[in-house]
Chains A and B, each alone.
Chain A
Amino acid sequence: MASLADTHTPGAHGHSSLQHQFDTMEQQKESSTLGMWVFLVTEIMFFGGLFLAYVAYRTRYPEAFAAASHTLDVTMGAVNTAVLICSSLTMALAIWCAQTNRRKGIVLFLLLTILLGAVFLGVKAVEYADKFEHHHVPGASFQFHTEGGHTGAEDPNLAQHTQLFFSLYFVMTGLHATHMIIGIAILGFLAFYAWRGRYDREYHNPLEMTGLYWHFVDIVWIFLFPLLYLLGAHAS
């Protein structure tokens, strides 16, 4: 990843962080940005396959998907959406601090971003625990009790088909959470280097590139939230 490569620049202090293959800092930054976006395009396709599976199975089993989605906690999902949006703001502010040469600001906002990411994962852990408690984890002990509104008239295997929803729920949110954990780890390194004074107005490519990654992960959740949590609003 471009961001990791850049942090290994030997003697990265201000202008000296211009690597020999580039003519100007601007050119170096544009190259990093383009490279990072190429990586993000592969990420779009990575998550895209799962979104496709979701759309296909939901088109096939709309009743089961609505019933399963109905069991998710909309409040927790909405709070987590807000937490991620806040973390995107703090990430953007960390870069803003670099652009205006505020070293302590960079460290502060990076640590805040890590904290908000941890809050998101904490809420997610509570939700996962709830799934295990209600036997909503796909597998041998999976159980789904249909409520009054779902007599199974249209889909006799409704309970079984809700397993497809929960499978997709765990894979999609799990892959998203994995990205968050990786992001938090990178942010930790950045906070350390920022505290050491490696980033300033002239050079803060690793911050910019990690920012792109972090915002991308935010965008994935912006789509996961309505698709997983809100479609059950009119289940019965």
Chain B
Amino acid sequence: MAEHDSPEKTLRTYILVFVALLVLTFATVLVARINFGAMNDVVAMAIAVTKALLVILFFMHVRHSTRATKLTALAGFFWLALLIGITMLDFKALGKIMDVPLQGVEAPVPGK
């Protein structure tokens, strides 16, 4: 596990990851001021996923964990992707159904 590296090296890694996470937090706030249109979410999520990966691999030591642990962690996020991905496919296709229980009479949002 984490003991594969010397304590000094582990400490240096923690500090580097910590600085990277703070820089990325600052970056995501700054970048949000620029309007990329439809890409806004993609940019914000790309930064968030990078931060999450840094935490998972280094702070949570998954880098040095057993294969079973790596597979379990991966399966969790894979299932989350399935949950959101497949539901949204359905949601887009059957979007109009949403009008009925929520508001009764309502114009669909144009262009969506």
Inter-chain contact A29/B109, CB cutoff 8 Å? no
Neighbouring B residues of A62 by C-beta, 8 Å: 109, 112
Residue of A with least CB distance to B41: A231
Query: Given A33-B65, A41-B76, A156-B107, do A85 and B95 touch, yes or no (CB 8 Å)?
Result: no
Residue of B with least CB distance to A58: B41
Neighbouring B residues of A30 by C-beta, 8 Å: 1, 65-66, 68-69
> Is A181 among interface residues, defined by CB-CB distance under 8 A?
no
Query: Given A34-B69, A59-B112, A82-B22, do A93 and B59 touch, yes or no (CB 8 Å)?
Result: no
Name A residues whose Cβ lies closer than 8 Å to a Cβ of B: 29-30, 33-34, 37-38, 40-41, 44-45, 48-49, 51-52, 55-56, 59-63, 74, 78, 81-82, 85-86, 88-89, 91-93, 95-96, 99-100, 154-157, 208, 211-212, 215-216, 218-219, 222-223, 225-227, 230-231, 233-234
Neighbouring B residues of A86 by C-beta, 8 Å: 18
Once bound together, how far apart are the Cα atoms of A200 and B41, in whole Å?
44
Tally of B interface residues using CB under 8 Å: 56
Once bound together, how far apart are the Cα atoms of A224 and B3, in whole Å?
32
Name B residues whose Cβ lies closer than 8 Å to a Cβ of A: 1-3, 7, 10-11, 14-15, 18, 21-22, 25-26, 28-29, 32-33, 35, 40-41, 44-45, 47-48, 51-52, 55-56, 59-61, 65-66, 68-69, 72-73, 75-77, 79-80, 83-84, 87-88, 91-92, 95, 98, 103, 106-107, 109-110, 112
CB distance from A140 to the nearest CB of B (A): 19
Neighbouring A residues of B47 by C-beta, 8 Å: 226
Neighbouring A residues of B51 by C-beta, 8 Å: 219, 222
| Interchain residue pairs A-B with the least CB separation, the first 3 | A41-B76, A226-B44, A230-B32
Query: Given A30-B69, A99-B7, do A211 and B32 touch, yes or no (CB 8 Å)?
Result: no
List 15 other contacts, CB 8 Å, given A34-B68, A215-B60.
A33-B1, A33-B66, A34-B66, A55-B84, A55-B88, A56-B91, A59-B112, A92-B14, A96-B7, A99-B10, A218-B59, A222-B51, A222-B52, A227-B44, A230-B29
Query: Given A60-B109, A96-B7, A99-B2, do A38 and B72 touch, yes or no (CB 8 Å)?
Result: yes
Q: Is the interface of B mostly helix, strand, loop or mixed?
A: helix
In-complex Cβ contact of A96 among B11, B35, B41, B87 (8 A): B11
Neighbouring A residues of B77 by C-beta, 8 Å: 44
Inter-chain contact B72/A219, CB cutoff 8 Å? no
Query: Given A81-B25, A99-B3, do A45 and B112 touch, yes or no (CB 8 Å)?
Result: no
Neighbouring A residues of B61 by C-beta, 8 Å: 208
Once bound together, how far apart are the Cα atoms of A154 and B65, in whole Å?
51
Neighbouring B residues of A208 by C-beta, 8 Å: 61
Once bound together, how far apart are the Cα atoms of A52 and B83, in whole Å?
7
CB distance from B7 to the nearest CB of A (A): 5
